[in-house]
Amino acid sequence: MTYCLGMLLDEGLVMIADTRTNAGVDNFSSYRKLHCLIDEPERQLFVAAAGNLSITQTVISLIREGLPADEEEGRIARTLGGAASMFRAAQLVGDALQIANRTVGEALNSLKIAGGASLLLGGRIGSGPPSLFLVYEAGNFIECKSELPFFQIGETKYGRPILDRVIRGHTPIAEAVKIGFLSFDSSMRSNLAVARPLDLMVMRADPSSPIQTRRIESNDAYFNDLSARWSDLLHDATRAIPDPPFLTS
């Protein structure tokens, strides 16, 4: 299992993913889950993947090498470089997931091995604002809108409460990254299937701003300080709230 988060804000796009993979309670390892699919002057696309590792690896390879051509598009392989919009890019990623499900997924199912996967696709094509899509296991997808400016995949439940309480479309990017880290910290506290290193990508709404990427290792000073401060503040807040009056004498 893993945890991936995408937040689409007025100021831009934030994507964070952990790197934990496991094949049993005593077999943990790390593998990058946030991938840059294409980085060109007019298009920058990133994907975060959660689920069966062989399925997600197949999807990433298909997207990078090009999907088989279809009858309408002739013999030219379908690639993200030819996608005219983010919607079309999401269609290609969904098609790649469907192909992986029909090949690798069916082989895994025959062995009674779970083979599901889901993806977050984020980025921009042209000079438009960043977009964020959630691609479901079946290959269908939805686009992130202002009513709920974030998507999660993987181990989502422990990190969601703080996002629901705080993240809004107008949340500044720096604050959103901080809240995103707290969401991951909560997940790591409650589930060994989520762990550092974390990979971070920040894409500003202004196309001229450079994309920022960073890996948060286990010894990252900011993250460790954030985690410790958050624990202390939660303890202080709990003590500051009155006890239930029906239990006091």
CATH of the domain at 121: 3.60.20.10
pLDDT tens sequence across 8-27: 999 999 999 999 987 555 66
When divided into structural domains, the chain yields a total of 1
pTM above the 0.85 mark?
A: yes
Angstrom distance (rounded) from CA 194 to CA 18: 6
Range of the domain at 133: 3-242
H-type alpha helices, the chain = 53-65, 86-100, 106-110, 160-166, 173-190, 221-240
247 in a structural domain: no
Tokens linked to 209:
């701003």
175 in a structural domain: yes
Angstrom distance (rounded) from CA 5 to CA 151: 6
Contacts of 163 (CB under 8 A, 6+ apart): 5, 150, 152, 179, 180, 183
Tokens linked to 134:
């959630």
Closest CA to 19 of 176, 215, 174, 178: 215
List the pLDDT tens digit at each of the 249 positions of the chain: 799 999 999 999 999 999 998 755 566 788 999 999 999 999 999 999 999 999 999 999 999 999 988 766 555 679 999 999 999 999 999 999 999 999 998 888 887 787 889 999 999 999 989 999 999 999 999 999 999 999 999 999 999 999 999 999 999 999 999 999 999 999 999 998 899 999 999 999 999 999 999 999 999 999 999 999 999 999 999 999 999 999 976
Angstrom distance (rounded) from CA 49 to CA 118: 6
